Amino acid sequence: MSGSRRGSDLRLGRYSETGQIYLLTSVVHDRIPLFSHWQTGRLVVQEFRRVQEQGLAESLAWVVMPDHFHWLVTLKKGSLGMLMRKVKSRSALSLLRLGHTSQQVWQKGYHDRAIRREEDLQSVARYIVANPLRAGLVQRIGDYPLWDAVWL
Residue 101: its pLDDT value, please?
A: 82
pTM: predicted TM-score of the whole model, two decimal places: 0.88
Q: What is the mean pLDDT of residues 126-138?
A: 97
User: How many of the other CB atoms lie within 10 Å of CB of 151?
Assistant: 11
Question: Residue ranges per domain, the chain?
Answer: 21-135
Percent of the chain with pLDDT over 70: 91
CATH 3.30.70.1290 holds for 21-135? yes
> pLDDT band at residue 132, thresholds of 50, 70 and 90?
very high
In angstroms and rounded to an integer, the radius of gyration of the C-alpha atoms of the chain is: 15
